[in-house]
Amino acid sequence: MIVKRYALLLAVFIACQILPFVFAQSPAQVPPAPPGEHRKTSEPYTGDLSIFESAGRDTRLQINRVMDILGISRGKTVADIGAGSGWFTVRAARRVGEGGVVYAVDINPESIRYIGDRAQKEQLRNVKTILGKENDPLLPTGAVDSVLLLKTYHEVGQPVALLRNLRASLRRGAKVGIIDRNGNGEDHGVGRDVVVREAAEAGYRMLELYDFVKGDKMDYFLVLVPTE
């Protein structure tokens, strides 16, 4: 009995002497960070904004079906991130009516001016413009029911930070939609698996995936929700 106890104590003593040395020589194996913020992105568009008003775009993108899926209805508050010419902004504004609000967010001051003038001309008093940052849409806290990034995500330089900062503005049950085309990040597209991975890093999960936008199957429509 005494011999067994001595052997046990000796084993513990040896382990205490050796293990610190082993761990000092073997750094912790931390999984490599996903590409996230460092992936290639397309340059944000700064050209003629009227190109987004092409005939038949409503039909090609099935935008009314998109708004149905995102729960955009009367009285709701919507964020159009990367609003560009306001093509989606004005459609969402008509859908939510005077009791709702649409925040048109863009990092291009020219887009903000363009949308402001457009909303005034089209008498859409429920449109509010926000000059955002590439890592923060600067939306009010707890205000938004639905978000859409329409052909914008591939241009976002800091996507994980943007999505993280977006979370604070979302109401319970809010949905975030991303419509883009499969690409390599610098060809006006980004792989949907990349978007899903970055969204998970930012604290979201994919709720639904559709490919009905456009008939060429190149575009995808992801619906994200914050993880609890």
Model confidence over 32-42: pLDDT tens digits? Answer: 444 444 566 65
Strands 219-226 and 77-81, bridge-based pairing: unpaired
151 CB neighbour count, 10 Å cutoff? 21
Q: Tell whether the model's pLDDT for residue 27 goes beyond 80.
A: no
pLDDT digits (tens, 9 = 90+) for 186-212: 667 899 999 999 999 999 999 999 998
Chain position carrying tokens 């205490």: 16
Contact 149, 120 (CB under 8 A): no
Four-residue CA torsion sign, 154, 156, 158, 159: negative
Residues whose CB is less than 8 angstroms from the CB of residue 119 and which lie 6 or more positions away in sequence, other chains included: 86, 89, 90, 93, 104, 125, 127, 129
* Measured distance CA(94)–CA(98) in Å, rounded: 8
pLDDT digits (tens, 9 = 90+) for 75-109: 999 999 999 999 999 999 999 999 999 999 999 99
- Phi then psi for residue 204, to 5 deg, are -125, 160
Contact 185, 42 (CB under 8 A): yes
Q: Which of 18-22, 46-50, 165-169, 175-179 has the lowest mean pLDDT?
A: 18-22
Residue 58 — pLDDT band, cuts 50, 70, 90? confident
**What would the mean pLDDT of 132-152 be, rounded to a whole number?**
96
List, in sequence order, every residue forming a beta bridge with 219; answer none if it has no partner.
181
CATH for the stretch 39-226: 3.40.50.150
Domain residue spans of the chain:
39-226
- Residue-level pLDDT at 119: 97
